[in-house]
Amino acid sequence: MADTYLSLTVDLPEAEAEALEDALHEAGALGLEVRDAEAPPMPGVRGPSPGEAIVVAYFDERAAAESARERVASDFPAARLRLEEVVQQDWSTAWRQHIHAVEVGRLWVGPPWQLKDAPADKVRLVIEPKMAFGTGDHPTTSLCLAAVDDFMASHPGASVLDVGTGTGVLAIAARRLGAGRVVGVDNDATSVELARENAQVNGTPEVELSGTPLEEVPGTFDLVLANILANTLIELAPALAAHTGQALVLAGVLAHQADAVGAAFRAQGLTQLKGAQVGEWVRLDFRR
């Protein structure tokens, strides 16, 4: 087995991504990775610019990779390309260097192997990176963690609903910071399973984690959190607003999408507050 392979990374307008994927398959790519609005990158991995997608194609032969690069350059003039030789690493551990613990307010969130370095005065959450979103170090997650920290400081015992819970990180954080009833839902079965594992590991097995569709979750909650993508948030606006008792926090929204998302929730009778921003990612805050 070769100890190196080649990766061709292509940034291009999202509308052209499907045609590019076909072209790369035809050009002999062994595998493709797509990062776009539908498939946000894993934490620590570079994401596409707004309106763009990133497609990474893997090749085991330099000749095939170079001819694919030439073909893409001529057929997709708007594309930016980078061909790299990648040395095989021990993939079972190499990715670990990309995972960073974060400190947000009273919280420390990090992987198990960094726990020994976590400050003892923090509320420490251990999230092992697996196939669910939410290890803490993505800006959308840390923006929400800050909101959870703030809200729980002034509302001990509050009920919390986390829609699109992923690893369960926000739900678990809320509970560890003194929330009463905490419910987390996700429409991805693997995420629900991992969120339950994480709740156990972090001493919060009482957090109610399931794949229940939002519309079927009974009642209202003092704080509702939803870190999903802008288009999904807009679709879910009536149901999210209906579950909001006091406060609603949205993330997963890019700066250029903030007006549309804000308008959809103001139309549900919620009052928009100041919010927060990290880079291109914005957090939208509302109160009833």
The string of DSSP letters for 184-242 reads: EE-S-HHHHHHHHHHHHHTT-TTSEEE---GGGS-S-EEEEEEE--HHHHHHHHHHHHH
For 167, what's the count of Cα atoms within 13 Å in the CB-facing half-sphere?
26
CA dist 140 and 42 (Å) reads 12
Beta pairing partners, 109? 102, 125
Query: Is 163 an interacting residue with respect to ligand SAM (CB under 6 A)?
Result: yes
Whose structure tokens read 């939410």?
Answer: 134
Task: Supply the minimum distance, in Å, between the C-beta of residue 134 and ligand SAM.
Answer: 3
Which CB sits closer to ligand SAM, 252 or 262?
252
Query: Is 280 an interacting residue with respect to ligand SAM (CB under 6 A)?
Result: no
Query: Is 164 an interacting residue with respect to ligand SAM (CB under 6 A)?
Result: yes
Task: Supply the minimum distance, in Å, between the C-beta of residue 246 and ligand SAM.
Answer: 19
228, 241, 276, 282: which one contacts ligand SAM (CB under 6 A)?
228
Task: Supply the minimum distance, in Å, between the C-beta of residue 147 and ligand SAM.
Answer: 10
CA dist 27 and 8 (Å) reads 12
Query: Is 47 an interacting residue with respect to ligand SAM (CB under 6 A)?
Result: no
Identify the three-state secondary structure at position 240: helix
Stretch that binds ligand SAM, among 146-154, 187-195, 198-206, 275-283 (CB under 6 A): 187-195
Which CB sits closer to ligand SAM, 9 or 187?
187
Within the chain, what is the greatest distance between any pair of CA atoms? 62
Count of chain residues binding ligand SAM (CB under 6 A)? 23
27, 137, 165, 177: which one contacts ligand SAM (CB under 6 A)?
165
Question: For binding to ligand SAM (CB under 6 A), which residues are involved?
Answer: 40, 133-134, 140-141, 144, 162-166, 169-170, 185-188, 191, 214, 227-228, 232, 252
